[in-house]
Each structure stands twice: as C-alpha cells, then as structure tokens.
C-alpha cells in the first residue's frame, strides 16, 4: 500500500462521523425544501402547517453543523459499552424475524379485516416475539390495546382507520 492510501484510510477512520453530519444536513435540507413547497391555506390564522417541518429541518441542520464542528475539533463518539449486554454474542435473529412477521401480517391484514383485528395480530405477535407465552392474557390485552388505539385514532384524532367487518359493531 502506498503512503497516500494509508493516510486516506487513516483520515476516513479519524473523521468517519462526518458522514453522519452530511446525512443529517441533507435530510434537513430535504425537509426544509419540502416545507417551503407546502401550499398556503387561505383560512389559516397564525401558525400554518409549514412551521413544524421548518423547525425540524432547521434543527437537523443545526445538529449536523454542531456534530461536524465537534468531529473536526477531535471529538469522537463513545463506543457502545452496553450495561448488561454481551456485545460478543450474536444478534437474536429469531426475535427480529418474528417481529417483522407480525408487522408484515398487520400490513397485509389491515385492508382485509380492518385495524382492530390486524392490530390484535400485530400486538399479540410482538408480545410472543418478545417472550410472553400467556395464551389467555396476551390475546385479550392485544385486542384491548388494538381497540383503544383504533378509537383514539378514529374518534379522538380524526384519523380514519379501516374498521373491516367490525365496522357495524364498533
């Protein structure tokens, strides 16, 4: 290896966290451009729908600049130590795959059977994936959580979720 290649690898290793700054800055610019492009609402009084995205985009750019300054001044992120985690142990792919399966089942079922039923499958699947094995309590808690979520979004927040076959009952 030539000296310049070794120096470049050393520099990239030394300042690799600048990549995170670039990603944060690009995301901030994207959010700001998208917020500026929001249409004006003629009935709006005071704060419009573009305020939160502008604040978030500006905050992303500010954090990117502060991180870049810190890295260029020699700051480094602390390596993950883990409190009670064995970092040498492999990941628990079974749990990850079970959670992914529960989420994908929700995605497939939500249009067919509605949110109360698909949400129950999601919450029960997540509880099972994370180790709960109470086959009486878990589905009841999952159904209750799904119904509460459905009513909060549908009735209180005004976000219409598909009710499916339970639409007439609920």
pLDDT in tens, 15-61: 888 999 999 999 999 999 999 888 877 665 666 777 889 999 999 99
- Report yes or no on 53 lying in a domain: yes
Instruction: Determine the angle formed by the axes of helices 93-113 and 115-129, rounding to 10 degrees.
Output: 170
Instruction: Identify whether residues 9 and 60 lie together within a single domain.
Output: yes
Residue 130: domain span: 93-166
CA 138 – CA 125 distance, rounded (Å): 9
Instruction: Identify whether residues 154 and 118 lie together within a single domain.
Output: yes
Contact between residue 106 and residue 121 where contact means Cβ atoms under 8 Å apart:
yes
- Report yes or no on 66 lying in a domain: yes
- Report yes or no on 17 lying in a domain: yes
Task: Please tell me whether the overall predicted TM-score, pTM, comes out greater than 0.85 for this model.
Answer: no
For the chain, what is the domain count? 2
Contact between residue 37 and residue 48 where contact means Cβ atoms under 8 Å apart:
no
Q: How far is CA 127 from CA 122, 134, 137, 138, 141, in A?
A: 9, 9, 11, 7, 10
CA 69 – CA 25 distance, rounded (Å): 13
């Amino acid at each position: 290896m030539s000296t310049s290649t070794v120096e470049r690898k050393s520099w990239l290793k030394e300042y690799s966290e600048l990549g995170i700054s670039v990603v944060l800055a690009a995301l901030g610019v994207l959010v700001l451009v998208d917020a500026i492009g929001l249409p004006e609402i003629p009935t709006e009084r005071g704060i419009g729908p573009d305020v939160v995205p502008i604040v978030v985009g500006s905050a992303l750019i500010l954090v990117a600049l502060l991180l870049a300054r810190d890295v260029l001044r020699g700051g480094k992120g602390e390596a993950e130590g883990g409190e009670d985690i064995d970092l040498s142990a492999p990941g628990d792919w079974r749990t990850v795959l079970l959670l992914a399966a529960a989420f994908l089942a929700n995605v497939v079922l939500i249009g067919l059977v509605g949110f109360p039923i698909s949400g129950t499958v999601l919450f029960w699947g997540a509880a099972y994936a994370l180790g709960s094995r109470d086959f009486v309590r878990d589905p009841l808690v999952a159904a209750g959580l799904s119904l509460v979520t459905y009513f909060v979004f549908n009735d209180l927040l005004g976000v219409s979720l598909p009710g499916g076959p339970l639409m007439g009952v609920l």
